[in-house]
Chain A
Amino acid sequence: GENVEQHPSTLSVQEGDSAVIKCTYSDSASNYFPWYKQELGKGPQLIIDIRSNVGEKKDQRIAVTLNKTAKHFSLHITETQPEDSAVYFCADLSNFGNEKLTFGTGTRLTIIP
């Protein structure tokens, strides 16, 4: 089955600096790549997504880049703030007619004030 690898598993960043989380996927048919943020005590929530016909997407301080040739995609958070501290999950969706996402193993991001 599909496999999504996510690195690093933990990341500590000084407030104001940038954070980058990387994911690689195995299914060349994957064409949709969302990122979810899970705050303490809550379920994950979608923060940004990208489709395979686009190389980069930006939404204020967060951006996602996709390299289909290399089968990897990354989340970039600039000017990090304490509220960015959370667990982040990448995921992908194969286009073989199913509705199931395959999630990465998660990255615990800590912003140091």
Chain B
Amino acid sequence: LAKTTQPISMDSYEGQEVNITCSHNNIATNDYITWYQQFPSQGPRFIIQGYKTKVTNEVASLFIPADRKSSTLSLPRVSLSDTAVYYCLVGDSGAGSYQLTFGKGTKLSVIP
């Protein structure tokens, strides 16, 4: 499983765009990049997944450069309710392993 590195914490004011970058230098050809969000005392919640270039859904965008050694989760116009821990996961379930390996994530604090 590819190791990921992301900032431990970030602060942002309400209404701003937040970009959280994750490094995954040893990402494999078959690996997808997946981001989860976790609120206190709740289970992780799937946000977005991508393989290359850009993916956008109703919640976030995911930017992946051509070398795929990093990815950036972009949250537009954050609100107080976006305060949570965000996890970047990289893995290939095609290799036979379906377990998700969570790191410590990035704790985002949105300030009014």
Whether chain B is bound by chain A comes out as no
Q: Which residues of B contact A (CB under 8 A)?
A: none
